[in-house]
Amino acid sequence: MMLSRTADHLFWMARYMERAENTARMLDVNYQTSLLPQSAHMSEQGWRGLLSISELTWGFSKKYQAVDARNVMDFMVRDETNASSIVACLRAARENARAVRGALTTEVWETQNQTWLEFNRLLADGAFERDPSSFFEWVKFRSHLSRGVTVGTMLQDEALHFLRIGTFLERADNTARLLDVKFQALAGGDYFGPDTKEGMEVDFYHWSAILRSVSGFEIYRKVYRNVIHPEKVAELLILRPDMPRSLAACMNDVVDNLQRVANEQSDETLRRAGRLRADLQYGRIDEILATGLHAYLTEFLDRVNDLGVGISRDFLVPMAA
């Protein structure tokens, strides 16, 4: 059985790398959306929503007065006092990798280390200010590379399973947060109105942005072959097991990998994970929307957080109370 401290470092290395990618995805989409014609109020609401997704509103307000693109991106990319910033996540991923170099292949360690070194070089060279979108694409690419090298070079043993559990638990959490905040914002109708030509165009761009933030725009077109409907976006990102970043796909991977590392004290955690997967597997989007999407996603986030606590208790170094 793997040492709990080693499993802990692997789990959090993967979570932090996935979190860095998710943050880059959301920032990139928000930045590109902010370039569209819109009111100053609507633009500010978009950035406020981004802080809300990551539960950073309070921390941001302590350091900045204005909620605008420059301040939010600075806070979420390179502010070292923000534990969820990209710089903090990449540093944490590298430190966790360094602590368990013996459990990683040389390629995995070198990918993590090179990402951290190159990230700092790009920041120092002003690449972020010159072209934020290219900078965010680079972060996403390095996360893809890290995941690919991990799967392509590591023995399929407990080390890999803990890495995968961390990745997909983090991804499920992020997709649910993104959906919840974006649907609430758009449900508020803070635009021309969906029945006007301008409103339909704004509506299309915003739903497209949500899909692009999870690499789902082309998948949506392939699956549904029609104009973008909010309920179909929700169905794709919650219930479709063949959509890589959906809640259903994430929970399938979490349960599959949990089963492979199961021990005598993990029965309850595995049961809860399996039940959450079953709810997604047999769920229907009309029932979810009828009971309320916000309530559904809030409950999902609570259950994912509960799973994280259970995994820490059963396998890892226990979380501080």
Band the pLDDT of 170: cuts 50, 70, 90: very high
The Cα 257–Cα 247 span in angstroms is: 16
Are residues 279 and 228 in contact, defined by beta-carbon separation less than 8 angstroms?
A: no
Q: In the predicted model, is pLDDT for residue 317 greater than 90? A: no
Band the pLDDT of 18: cuts 50, 70, 90: very high
Question: What is the predicted pLDDT for the residue at 43?
Answer: 79
Instruction: Give the number of C-alpha atoms closer than 13 A to the C-alpha of residue 143, restricted to the C-beta side.
Output: 25
Q: In the predicted model, is pLDDT for residue 180 greater than 90? A: no
Mean pLDDT on 221-248: 93
Q: In the predicted model, is pLDDT for residue 191 greater than 60? A: no
Q: In the predicted model, is pLDDT for residue 222 greater than 70? A: yes
The Cα 188–Cα 172 span in angstroms is: 25
Q: Which two tokens stand for residue 127?
A: 């690449």
The Cα 48–Cα 125 span in angstroms is: 28
Band the pLDDT of 199: cuts 50, 70, 90: very low
The Cα 26–Cα 165 span in angstroms is: 22
Beta strands in the chain (DSSP E): none
Three-state SS for 109?
A: helix
Band the pLDDT of 192: cuts 50, 70, 90: very low
Are residues 186 and 206 in contact, defined by beta-carbon separation less than 8 angstroms?
A: yes
Task: Render pLDDT for 261-277 as a digit per residue (tens, 0 to 9).
Answer: 999 899 999 999 999 99
Three-state SS for 1?
A: coil
Question: What is the predicted pLDDT for the residue at 270?
Answer: 96
Question: What is the predicted pLDDT for the residue at 77?
Answer: 97
Are residues 246 and 237 in contact, defined by beta-carbon separation less than 8 angstroms?
A: yes
Q: For residue 97, give the nearest of 121, 116, 81 by alpha carbon.
A: 116
Q: In the predicted model, is pLDDT for residue 129 greater than 80? A: yes
Q: Which position has the higher pLDDT, 34 or 117?
A: 117
Are residues 108 and 150 in contact, defined by beta-carbon separation less than 8 angstroms?
A: yes
Question: What is the predicted pLDDT for the residue at 256?
Answer: 97
Question: What is the predicted pLDDT for the residue at 182?
Answer: 79
Cα angle 58, 8, 178 (rounded to 5 degrees) comes to: 40
Q: In the predicted model, is pLDDT for residue 10 greater than 70? A: yes
The overall average pLDDT reported for the chain is 90
Question: What is the predicted pLDDT for the residue at 165?
Answer: 97
Q: In the predicted model, is pLDDT for residue 311 greater than 80? A: yes
Mean pLDDT on 251-266: 95
Question: What is the predicted pLDDT for the residue at 194?
Answer: 42
Beta strands in 83-149 (DSSP E): none
- Which residues does 88 contact at the CB level (< 8 Å), separation at least 6? 79, 80, 82
Question: What is the predicted pLDDT for the residue at 128?
Answer: 95
Distances (CA, A) of 106 to 87, 190, 245: 23, 50, 28
Band the pLDDT of 75: cuts 50, 70, 90: very high
Q: In the predicted model, is pLDDT for residue 2 greater than 80? A: no
Task: Render pLDDT for 97-108 as a digit per residue (tens, 0 to 9).
Answer: 999 999 999 999
Identity of the amino acid at 226 = N
Mean pLDDT on 253-260: 97
Mean pLDDT on 37-43: 77
